[in-house]
Amino acid sequence: MKHGYQEMKGRAPLEVKGQTALDMLSTADNVTAGGGGVERVGGVTTGDMKECAGCGKRITERFLLKALDLFWHEDCLKCGCCDCRLGEVGSTLYTKANLILCKRDYLRLFGTTGYCAACNKVIPAFEMVMRAKSNVYHLECFACQQCNHRFCVGDRFYLCDNKILCEYDYEERLVFANMAYNPTSLAHIRRQVGNLQPARDNVGSGPRPPEPTHPQHHSSVLQREDGSSGYGSPDSDTLETQ
């Protein structure tokens, strides 16, 4: 469905930001107990000692962990891959193929970010990705889908018809959407374009413009009207002495 002019005009630009798959993991596969995941419990009395689900021994320590509706020593509830203590790395754990895993190893072994909205290929876990609202992109796929301009962090872009557009191409679409929304402006532009052709054909065929006139500078040398050269010249009168 194409966007109308008024809808496109009110669309705010988005800013490019980097993100990893860890920040985008859905919690659909998250296994929690009582909505708490890994819970640290204290104040256990002697008559109410719990049995550890990891080692099978009674928990005599002051604090214990509760996860998957079971109780654990703090040292027994570990990631099955990296052996990190899950009570120290957060309040969330994951289970898959009879393994208890931390978030990082679960993503590394089984996780995917999703599908790239540009190339429709799977984006592996831990790969840097770019987001535009709900869409996810490979870094190399995150470009204007009109002119293929590659975006950098901090650039502004628009998501229009589920396509990423740079500001230039979005504004171009905005102009055409305005034309479709307002046929009068489109007819006016067509008339202007039509008037350009006769003017282009007449270039060089009209009369030449008059040459600019330059002011005349009068010489400061004075010329004699009688043509005489002054005193001592052959044309001057001489006095004879008798």
In this prediction, residue 22 has a pLDDT band, given cuts at 50, 70 and 90, of: very low
Looking at residue 226, its pLDDT comes to 45
- The pLDDT value recorded for residue 18 is 41
Question: pLDDT at position 179, please?
Answer: 65
What's the rounded mean pLDDT across residues 12-27? 43
pLDDT of residue 90: 75
Of the pLDDT bands very low, low, confident and very high (cuts 50, 70, 90), residue 56 is: very high
Least confident residue range of 50-54, 106-110, 135-139, 229-233: 229-233
Mean pLDDT calculated for residue range 43-62: 80
Does position 164 have pLDDT exceeding 80, yes or no? yes
- Residue 207, CA distances (Å) to 94, 198, 210, 212 in order: 87, 16, 9, 15
**Least confident span in 11-20, 60-69, 111-120, 178-187:** 11-20
- Of the candidates 1, 54, 4, the one whose C-alpha atom is nearest the C-alpha of residue 180 is 4
Q: Which of 5-9, 12-16, 70-74 has the lowest mean pLDDT?
A: 5-9
Cβ of 171: how many Cβ atoms within 10 Å?
A: 12
**pLDDT over 70, % of the chain:** 54
- Residue 223 banded pLDDT, cuts 50, 70, 90: very low
pLDDT of amino acid 187: 64
Average pLDDT over every residue of 93-101: 83
Residue 39, H or E segment: strand 39-42
Distance (Å, whole) CA 51 – CA 241: 161
Among 44-48, 160-164, 214-218, 224-228, which is the least confidently predicted range?
Answer: 224-228
Rounded CA-CA distance 207/209 in Å is 6
B/e letters for 22-42, b = 16+ CB within 10 Å, e = fewer, are eebbeeeeeebeeeebbbeee
Is the Cβ–Cβ distance between 95 and 106 less than 8 Å?
no
Give the pLDDT mean for 206-227: 50
Q: pLDDT at position 55, please? A: 93
For the chain, domains (ranges, CATH) are 5-21+112-173 (2.10.110.10), 26-110 (2.10.110.10)
Distance (Å, rounded) from C-alpha 215 to C-alpha 225? 25
pLDDT in tens, 168-205: 888 888 777 766 666 665 566 566 556 655 544 554 55
Q: What average pLDDT does the structure give for the chain?
A: 69
